[in-house]
Structure 1
Amino acid sequence: MELNVFVKQIQQLELKLLQSDLAAHPELIDELLAENFEEVDSNGEIRTRNDVIDWLLHKDKHIQWTFKDFRIKALTDDMVLAIYSLHKPNHMNGAGSTRTSIWQYRKNQWKMVFHQASRKN
């Protein structure tokens, strides 16, 4: 697998998940999140797919998140790990979070199966 080909694609999927109005486009949820999706939030709590969907549906739709140092690593032939820093606008030098996501290629599309957020102080 040529990773450089997938970096922009996975980054765009991460942005789509964060910046789309999922209340207006709920079909994107099933398009982007695997059925067995789980998350470890920035407080170390395990969140279910439904917990995360609830947050995504009620998040501030006006925040345009910024990625820094986005990269991916191959885990298997059909699975990659995305690693990046996430910041709110105008907070690039302040506190943000380090994020990791596992994306799996299933039925001709990438789906997120796991996500973890770690707060930066």
Structure 2
Amino acid sequence: MDLITKQIRQLELKLLQSDLIAHPGLIDELLAESFEEIDSNGETHTRDDVIDWLLHKDKHIQWSFKDFRIKTLTNDVVLAVYSLHKPDQPSIDYTGSIRTSIWQYQKNQWKMVFHQASRRS
């Protein structure tokens, strides 16, 4: 795994697994001002909607990534693609989801500008 892939994977995990109430500065560190998301139901959410979800998510869930990879789009933009699973969820009942995130290098740090979740059939 190359350096950028490791960095982006670590940032994705930080966003999902950090207690953002205890560390509110991480929100601005990780999410671009122009951030938006399309959820697994096809609904679009604003940055504020996603921040609200992140602040109220179950802090005890330890998500796991499978098949994490990066595609370079430009010198300062990458696309992260991966499967997301809840480790305590039986794979028969829950197949996880495919996630894509666009990260842009802004002011000497990577920030997520877009995220989409797709249900696995």
Alignment of 1:26-37 (within 5 A): 26-37=24-35
Distance between the aligned counterparts of 1:91 and 1:84, measured in 2? Answer: 18
SS of structure 1 residue aligned to 2:59: coil
Deviates more, 1:65-74 or 1:86-95: 86-95
Residue by residue over 1:73-118, the C-alpha shift from the partner in whole angstroms, topping out at 9 and shown as x without a partner, is 0010000000000000133734210000000001100000000000
Question: Counterpart of 2:112?
Answer: 112
Question: Counterpart of 2:39?
Answer: 41
From 52, 55, 70, the equivalent of 1:54 is 52
Distance between the aligned counterparts of 1:81 and 1:16, measured in 2? Answer: 17
Moved over 2 A (4+): 90-94
Q: TM-score, normalised by structure 2?
A: 0.95
Q: Which sections of structure 1, spanning at least 5 residues, go unmatched?
A: none
- Tell me the amino acid that sits aligned with residue 75 of structure 1: L
Supply the RMSD in Å over aligned alpha carbons: 1.2
Q: Note closer, same or farther for the CA distance 1:106–1:61 as it changes in structure 2 (3 Å cut).
A: same
- Tell me the amino acid that sits aligned with residue 91 of structure 1: Q
- Tell me the amino acid that sits aligned with residue 41 of structure 1: D
Alignment of 1:1-121 (within 5 A): 4-91=2-89, 93=91, 94-121=94-121
SS of structure 1 residue aligned to 2:20: coil
Distance between the aligned counterparts of 1:69 and 1:90, measured in 2? Answer: 18
- Tell me the amino acid that sits aligned with residue 68 of structure 1: K
The size of the alignment, in residue pairs, is: 119
Distance between the aligned counterparts of 2:45 and 2:96, measured in 1? Answer: 20
Distance between the aligned counterparts of 1:62 and 1:90, measured in 2? Answer: 11
Distance between the aligned counterparts of 1:89 and 1:29, measured in 2? Answer: 25
